Amino acid sequence: MRNSSKGMLAIIASAALFVLTGCGGSGSSSAKLDADADLASQKLTVSIWAAYSPEDLPSKFEEKFGTKVTITNHATNEEVMAKLTAGGDSGIDVAFVSGQFAQALAQQGLIENLDKSFIPNSANLVPEVANLTYDLGNKYSMPYAWGTTGICYRADLMKGNEPTSWNDLLMPKPQFKGKVTMLATERWLMLPAQKALGFSANTQDESEMNQVKDLLIKAKANLLAYDDTTFYERLVSGEAVMVEAWDGWCNYGIAKNKNIKFMVPKEGSDLWADTMVVLKSSKNKEAAHAFINYILDKDVHSWVVDNILYKVPNSAAMEKSLPALAADFPNMTISPSELLKGEGLVDLGKAAPLYTRIATEVTAK
């Protein structure tokens, strides 16, 4: 009795799955937005990293437009992706995800093409953003912050031995062994080795990735830990002297200890961007567009910069914020054209499992 009823359930579930998931098309499409929509009657749920936006942003937006904004946090891209791709309505209207994930969402038909007529402030963005490879022409995403990855280090503890190359991180000098960390997220775990060996950060070539793997396994012996979150605190405490870090993150360390410095190794690095996307399942698309537009306003975006110490691709905003920050946080002055020398990260498509497998092999050894 129990067995056959379980069987029935399985069949019903399968049928339901076919119907529901089979219906999702690929590629995004545009909704028709209503220019006269009453924003005060809409509500927004925004998913973003913790402390990655000014605390008063929701209330300031509500003051101006009447829309209630609820901020929900995710700690990693991967978590929010799982929620958004599980089918159904996640309850999220606007999501902040890194560029290559926006690309994946668009490919799965989960996000809207943006109606630029509702985002006039996108004119504030530097022209280079149209060349961001994960979304050429910014069809379905607007960049919020961008930067590059490099080495964040204690200059006072490394006098005379400052790093210049990714190899200084991967194969540190004996006195620095065991005081080095690398990022744990796979794309950034691979990056130093990929660049040190002269490969693309988006390579799907298995033989190249195997060489990357071998180099990373050798490097593991010198590592203190893989760390995505507290690496700058380790620099501050002195537990580590050199860490792989995103430029904005490094600034948090610099704010606590002036001896910390950031550099981009000579082999080059990546260009990453955190973007804003609108979910197709959102019932508040006008408010979502207004929110994105609000952020791209030069004063608001500048306020963001002052708050999170990351670079934004908004020339007017950067002009406003840089004077106060440039001296303390030199990596804020990296120009858009400099940044674009970095290799933009795109979704790996079919090669994603290869990267995960190699990451597993490296971390499991």
Query: Amino acid identity of 233?
Result: E
| Unique residue bearing structure tokens 């410095």 | 261
Per CB under 8 A, contacts with other proteins among 76-135 are: 76, 78-79, 81-83, 85-92, 103-104, 107-108
Q: How near is the Cβ of 341 to other proteins at its closest, in Å? A: 27
Return the number of the residue (168 or 228) whose C-beta is nearest other proteins: 228
Per CB under 8 A, contacts with other proteins among 143-172 are: none
User: Candidates 1-9, 124-132, 316-324, 326-334 — which segment interacts with other proteins by CB under 8 A?
Assistant: 1-9
Please list the residues that pair with 314 across neighbouring strands. 125
Per CB under 8 A, contacts with other proteins among 235-264 are: 236-239, 252, 256
Taking each helix axis from N to C end, the angle separating 298-308 and 57-65, rounded to the nearest 10 degrees, works out to 170
Per CB under 8 A, contacts with other proteins among 39-68 are: 45, 47, 49-51
Q: Which of 37, 114, 91 is nearest to 275 (CA)?
A: 114
7, HSE (Cβ side, Cα atoms, 13 Å):
4
User: Candidates 126-134, 216-224, 287-295, 304-312 — which segment interacts with other proteins by CB under 8 A?
Assistant: 216-224
Following DSSP, what letter does each residue of 300-312 receive, concatenated?
A: HHHHHHHHH--B-
Q: How near is the Cβ of 344 to other proteins at its closest, in Å? A: 17
Decide: is 301 part of the binding site for other proteins (CB under 8 A).
Answer: no
Q: How near is the Cβ of 266 to other proteins at its closest, in Å? A: 27
The token duo for 218 is 């050798």
Q: How near is the Cβ of 314 to other proteins at its closest, in Å? A: 23
Query: Amino acid identity of 131?
Result: N
Return the number of the residue (142 or 235) whose C-beta is nearest other proteins: 235
Decide: is 268 part of the binding site for other proteins (CB under 8 A).
Answer: no
Q: Which of 308, 82, 271 is nearest to 188 (CA)?
A: 271
Taking each helix axis from N to C end, the angle separating 285-296 and 298-308, rounded to the nearest 10 degrees, works out to 70
Q: What are the E-state strand segments in 27-66?
A: 43-48
Q: How near is the Cβ of 21 to other proteins at its closest, in Å? A: 7
Per CB under 8 A, contacts with other proteins among 171-190 are: 178, 184-186
What lies within 8 Å, CB to CB, of 68 at 6+ separation is 43, 44, 58, 62
Please list the residues that pair with 145 across neighbouring strands. 274
Which of 223, 241, 292, 304 binds other proteins (CB under 8 A)? It is 223
Decide: is 24 part of the binding site for other proteins (CB under 8 A).
Answer: yes
Q: Which of 328, 300, 296 is nearest to 313 (CA)?
A: 296
Residue 151 CA to residue 96 CA, distance in Å, equals 25
Per CB under 8 A, contacts with other proteins among 333-362 are: 347, 349-350, 352-353, 355-357, 359-361
Q: How near is the Cβ of 337 to other proteins at its closest, in Å? A: 30
Query: Amino acid identity of 270?
Result: D
Return the number of the residue (308 or 318) whose C-beta is nearest other proteins: 308
Number of chain positions touching other proteins (CB under 8 A): 76
Decide: is 6 part of the binding site for other proteins (CB under 8 A).
Answer: yes
User: Candidates 10-18, 163-171, 286-294, 331-339 — which segment interacts with other proteins by CB under 8 A?
Assistant: 10-18
- Give the number of other CB atoms < 10 A from CB of residue 13: 10
The token duo for 359 is 């990451």
Return the number of the residue (30 or 73) whose C-beta is nearest other proteins: 73
Return the number of the residue (121 or 222) whose C-beta is nearest other proteins: 222
